Amino acid sequence: MTHEDYLDRVTQYIKDDSEELTQFKAITTYHSGKYDDDASWKSLNEYSTENENKRGCPQGQRNRVYYMALPPSVFVPVAKGLKKNVYVQDGVNRLIVEKPFGMDTESSNELGREIGALFTENEIYRIDHYLGKEMVKNVMTMRFSNIFFSQIWDRKYIDNVQITFKETIGTEGRGGYFDDFGIVRDVMQNHLLQVLSLIAMERPISTESEAIRDEKVKVLKCIPPITTDDALLGQYVAANGKPGYLDDDTLKNKQSRTPTFAALTLWIQNERWEGVPFIMKAGKALDAAKVEIRIQFRNVAGSLYKGAPRNELVMRVQPREAVYIKFNNKQPGLSYGTIQSDLDLSYHDRFTDMKIPDAYESLILDVLRNDHSNFVRDDELETAWNIFTPLLHQIDQRTDLPLHNYPYGSRGPAELEAFVRKYGYDRSNANYSWPVQSVSHANNSNKL
């Protein structure tokens, strides 16, 4: 790839054609080499030093950030090449490591030991881009800056919590890669578990990065390994003119039992959350593309209004960030019946002239600021793998584990509704519509 090809590639989606883009291109360079070749790494170091000299970077401030978005098999060789040949002694070094961080507890720990022998924990940034999403970063602010949430955020008032990840596309030519990981490793052990930890953790003593990460580790240690009794697995099949998972040309194993959908229930064994199911749902080739957190509260004790639906707090992570609370209201008009409505904070309606930065923009800025708050610590990573590894080994090894087919473009396996219902989720508000709701039927019933 030539320098011009590189510039075309990295700027192809930038719509701005201002002077700033020209300046960006002037300081953006490309240098190629081999992962396992010392000469290539020495050449990169010389190239970087030359650039630093041209830009007038003073001695002692020649700081370098290394971003490893690579196959896990070359993480260690690349880290060794960087440390031996490119690591600066008179500046700051920071290493960003993109997932996957191993395949299970053992492989993750081995990877951690090898990279930890080269870089200190303070230099390592294990990036999970979900921690850079606006609504995920908002969880702590919502919980700990609003007194009414802090008073109802426990098992006394909350019945169940659902964290949902849905994609409308299948593997679409990535089946060869996806088959080695599956939906649980790809999305749930990392992205969704990070969201869960922010919802469930205790209040940290401060907003310092280590205080936040300490509380995340504490709550994750209260979660026992997931059992197969608390799991529903699925794999999509051809429907609506779309191919099934096993039809992917890049898939080598045409009898693969890798799940493309999973619903898993986790239990937190502490005073705040004992008995409250945390249900994770994630899948490909579904009917909608969205990520949301749905907290359903308990029924009103001795309610005067029989059949009134439960209250819910919904945080829409994507698309179109929003927070809304579903609550019961008197039907408009002459009726005294109840209707479910909402208190709605939709970001794109409320905040004008707003540009929410991409998650990676936010996280890379955190690296430059030396802020570890939104990055995964080594003990946190190990604890997360401990929760999932026993289940993952059963998925990998057992051929008798139920794997339910579901049509491309559906809500998931037909068994999903019964699965979430057995953990107490109440869909009595199924006729509710967000963000706009018609009351024409209610108004007609009010006529004399």
Which among 3, 191, 348, 441 is annotated as catalytic? 191
* Residue 286 DSSP one-character state: B
Q: State the CB neighbour count (10 A cutoff) for residue 249.
A: 8
- 265 vs 227: CA distance, rounded Å: 9
Whether 404 is a known active-site residue: answer no
Give start and end residues of each alpha helix (H) in 55-188. 75-85, 105-116, 134-145, 147-152, 175-178, 182-183
Contacts of 293 (CB under 8 A, 6+ apart): 135, 139, 161, 162, 163, 164, 195, 199, 314, 315, 317
- Name the strands in the sheet holding 338-346, side by side, starting at the edge strand that comes first in the sequence: 338-346, 322-330, 312-318, 290-297, 158-166, 277-283, 261-267, 231-237, 404-407
- 327 vs 325: CA distance, rounded Å: 6
Return the residue matching tokens 């031996």.
Answer: 84
The DSSP bridge partners found for residue 95 are 66, 124
- 55 vs 60: CA distance, rounded Å: 14
Q: Give the residue numbers annotated as catalytic, written as ranges.
A: 191
